[in-house]
Amino acid sequence: MSEEGLLELRNKLDNIDNTLLDLINERMHIVHQVGALKAKSGGAIYRPEREKAIIDRLEEMNNQKNGLLNRSAIEALFLEIFAISRNIELPENIAYLGPEGSFTHQAAEGRFGAMSSYISVSSIKGVFREVNTKKVKFGVIPIENSSNGIVTDTITCLSEYNLKIIAEVVLDIHHTLATTCDKIKDIKRIYSKDIAFDQCRKFLTNMGLDEVEQIPVESTTKAAKLAAREPGTAAICPHVGAKLHNIPILFENIEDKDNNKTRFFIISDFENAQSGNDKTSILVKLPDRQGVLVEFLTDFNNAGINLTKIKSHIVEGNSIFFIDFDGHKDDENVKNILQKYINSVKVLGSYVKEINDI
């Protein structure tokens, strides 16, 4: 292509960028007007169900026009625009289970964007406490991993605090082997979180690293930090952790299962409206009598409510069930069931369904 032709294309791109900037600024002005109306009525600024409806509509329009963007690209663009819009109205403070660079941090940034203010908290209970005392508006905590199951501390805190689940985020979990060593045989110690070691056993064995000293630390991000400054060591950590501490990545995607996912909850102090594609989470403590669980489950079945998860737990010495089901707490068939078991059920929140199960 000639220099003249290349210059013409660049000028077209510049004109498109100028138009995009004008349109985004126009959108922000309208968002400001909407925000003013919400402030008068006390409405929440973050509405996950509304954001999902917008992305669904844009994806359908994109497909009809044979656009080059897939849903992931549309989400990446517009979730950032949504986050910027919210921060113009009211800067968002988000607490997450830290440290910086953790998978929970990734989940938080993926939903709330780069402009929000993030606070790293060292415990799940600490995240709940920050939201409960209104020091932050949102908290992000893990609820389950496809390999390691439900996070008990999260269940305990959901039982203890009267906060609401307002969204779920599902993240693909990928681990890397990061090291300053040029060759595997030079690695004498490996740092990581105990769960990460468990998720990468086959890789370690296949690479002859199962005999190397494995040192568990409290986070994969700390593992990367240690490996970056200690010669002869490596870290099993996420890509962002290696990048954060400027440590070279020797191998990518070293987890044993290629469908390893972690599900996170976003918690806050408000409830979502119905979106048409919702999931509800509840905690259930049933009376101690024969057949009560069968009766409870049968009532859900008769009401046409699809239970997607049932997990039993012990909280403060009491046996409870953590249950997910399709639908919103305000759906008529759901309301009838919840009313029947009002003394046995704690509704944790209804939110846009991201995935059926992991």
Q: Is the pLDDT of residue 315 over 80?
A: no
Query: For the chain, what are the domain ranges?
Result: 3-89, 176-251, 274-358
Centroid of chain to Cα 238: 15
CATH code linked to domain 3-89: 1.20.59.10
The reported pLDDT for the residue numbered 240 is 87
Q: Name the helix (H) or strand (E) containing 151.
A: none
- In angstroms, the CA 92 to CA 115 distance is 8
> What percent of the chain is modeled with pLDDT above 70?
96
The reported pLDDT for the residue numbered 50 is 83
Candidates 3.90.1150.10, 3.40.605.10, 3.40.190.10, 3.40.50.300; correct CATH number of 176-251? 3.40.190.10
Q: Is the pLDDT of residue 165 over 90?
A: yes
pLDDT average, residue stretch 271-299 = 91
- CB count in 10 Å sphere of residue 215: 14
Residue from 195, 182, 190 nearest 211 by CA: 190
The alpha carbon dihedral of 82, 86, 91, 92 has a sign of negative
Structure tokens at 260: 């390893």
pLDDT tens digits for range 17-32: 999 999 999 998 888 7
Q: Is the pLDDT of residue 199 over 70?
A: yes
Residue 150: phi and psi, rounded to 5, are -70, 145
Q: Three-state SS across 325-340?
A: EECCCCCHHHHHHHHH
Structure tokens at 248: 């070279």
The reported pLDDT for the residue numbered 43 is 58
pLDDT average, residue stretch 312-339 = 91
Rg (CA), the chain: 23
- CB count in 10 Å sphere of residue 187: 21
Tell which CATH architecture fits domain 274-358.
2-Layer Sandwich (3.30)
**Pairing mode, strands 345-352 and 278-284:** antiparallel
Structure tokens at 268: 């806050």
Helices (H), the chain: 3-41, 48-64, 71-89, 103-112, 124-132, 152-160, 194-199, 201-206, 220-229, 239-244, 292-302, 332-340
The answer to whether 3-89 and 176-251 have equal CATH topology is no
Range with the poorest average pLDDT among 61-65, 202-206, 245-249, 291-295: 291-295
Rounded to 10 degrees, what is the CA torsion of 100, 102, 107, 111? 10
Q: Is the full-model pTM beyond 0.85?
A: no
- Which residues, including other chains, have CB under 8 Å from residue 358's CB and lie 6 or more apart? 144, 145, 146, 170, 261, 262, 263
Three-state secondary structure call for residue 277: coil
Calculate the alpha carbon distances from 229 to 218, 246, 275 in Å: 17, 10, 49
Q: Is the pLDDT of residue 39 over 80?
A: no
Range with the poorest average pLDDT among 201-210, 215-224, 285-294, 299-308: 285-294
Q: Is the pLDDT of residue 44 over 70?
A: no
Three-state secondary structure call for residue 63: helix
At CA 283, angle to CA 278 and CA 287, rounded to 5? 135
